[in-house]
Amino acid sequence: MKGLLIGIISQAKKSINEYQQKANALNESLKLNDKKRVIFSLVIICIGFCSILIINNVLPNINTDTWRYESPVIIPVINPVGGDFRLGLYWPAENLIKSGSRSVGTDGTYQSIYPPLVHVISLPYLLFKIQTAYIVHVVLLFLANIFSLLLASLMVKEFILSRLKLDKMFVMMITIFIFFGMAIYTFISYPFAFSIERGNYDAFPIFFSILAMWVILKRPEKLWLQVILLSVAVHLKIYPAVLFIILLFKHGIKLVLPALVINLAFLFILGPMIGIDYIQFVASSEGAGIGNNFSWIGNHAAYSFSKLITIRYPSLSSSFFVLWGISMFIPIILWSFSAISLFKNGYSSQNMIFLIMVTIPLMDLLPTASNDYKLIILYPAVILLFSLIMMQIIKDHHWLNYAQFGILFLILLFLGRPYAMSSDYVYALKPTSSIFINNKYLWSLALEIVMVWNIYKNFNTEIS
């Protein structure tokens, strides 16, 4: 028995030494060859996306109580499908026609959190019956997601990877891998499924936002076009307004006139009274103002996250505004740190892309309502983050860079995973589950932290 034990220990030591030698050989090989580093990184990316697919989309289908393969309920479904599309786009457009462009509500008031431009753009849907219009809407959502990811990938290819000392084939390989990896991840993720079920259109403002950023990179002199595209995004949903900081960074005071003209035109496109009514409603507690009723486990905005904490821990109920302030302060400080560093470093297409990247999580966390279907706006930013990590790997072989892939895939795993739904009430969290894991605030914030760290690390590498 003693001899057998000694033999096992001896064999184990031998195996460990062999693996250590192979690891050292791989380390030396990667250190000396940037192309091998690229291939090794792409293998890690493939493993990461496949792991997410299995963990989020395959394993949950195995019911360990009945030992049957069945699809669990992951979304608080509303019947008929496309509730947000019907309530927010189609019916208000109908009311607009019926009232002679005087109102989007049935009672003559402006009962909508969506800007006036949304209802004008929604008018073509009335060419179809509501069920057909919803299908058209779903197709447009799919295309908006695809083209947002594609534009982000093209930014990576043309303004980051192409400027490294890499063969065009490797640049194309990295771009294709990241694009298709994120496209697959997008369409298998809970936020995308949620957006389709609701008919939510956050895919449109992020598409116009990314398109505006693409124009500023490719056609920096086209100020009015950039303003028009970004203003369309802002008047679909308000949160892309923060991206005007990027236009200000590029154009300075020249931005003021076109920004005022275009945004006032969009705000009052249905007349001054409807524009004013919209502002009053969206700022009220009935809209998206303080005291709104949008907070629930599937709303990961800083406001909702803070409210959920006070509900789960009643002793903190009097500290809501402190918690909300902290929850907003952290992402703002992180963004400010990055923005100041980028501004100090001067204008360049690369710095512009990094600023776009780190601004998108801010768009996700700061509004008072960010339901989980809105998480799709983060996905183009994730493509930019992948490229930043890849750039550092190509420049310098360090195991910390590869380890970041693991951190990023862990974040993506939980961002794309549905919350643990209560069996009693679909809009509530399972009592035994943690809000800190199931609510997406901390995961969206973690994504911003990884972005900020990489921006800092990139500058630090360049300086040294």
CA distance 280 to 192: 31
Of 216, 214, 215, 209, the C-alpha closest to 233 is 209
Asked whether 153 and 383 are in contact (CB, 8 A), the reply is: yes
Q: What is the reported pLDDT for 464?
A: 40
Assign 429 to helix, strand or coil: strand
Angle between helices 203-218 and 130-159 (to 10 degrees): 30
Kindly report each contact of residues 220-226 with a partner whose C-beta sits within 8 Å and lies 24 or more positions away, as own/partner. 220/250, 223/247, 223/251, 223/254, 223/255, 223/258, 224/258, 224/262
Q: Which two tokens stand for residue 311?
A: 């509900």
Q: What is the reported pLDDT for 262?
A: 95
Specify which residues 69 forms β-bridges with.
62
Compute CA distances 320 → 291, 309, 327, 440, 461, whole Å: 12, 8, 10, 19, 41
CA distance 204 to 362: 18
CA distance 312 to 316: 9
Residues in the chain: 464
CA distance 152 to 387: 10
Contacts of 73 by beta carbon, 8 Å cutoff, 6+ apart: 421, 426
Q: Which two tokens stand for residue 386?
A: 């992948």
Angle between helices 203-218 and 349-365 (to 10 degrees): 160
Please give the model's pTM, rounded to 2 decimal places: 0.91
Domain locations along the chain = 32-61+82-463
Compute the C-alpha angle 42/46/51, nearest 5°. 145
Compute CA distances 279 → 267, 275, 293, 297, whole Å: 9, 7, 18, 27
Q: What is the reported pLDDT for 463?
A: 42
Residue ranges in the chain whose pLDDT is less than 70:
1-34, 397, 459-464
**Residue 371 backbone dihedrals phi, psi, to 5 degrees:** -65, 160
**Residue 158 backbone dihedrals phi, psi, to 5 degrees:** -85, -30
Rounded to the nearest 10 degrees, how much is the dihedral formed by the CA atoms of 359, 365, 371, 377? 10
Assign 299 to helix, strand or coil: strand
Compute CA distances 433 → 8, 123, 155, whole Å: 43, 43, 39
Ramachandran sector of residue 199 (left: φ over 0; alpha: ψ -120 to 50; beta: rest): left
CA distance 45 to 36: 14
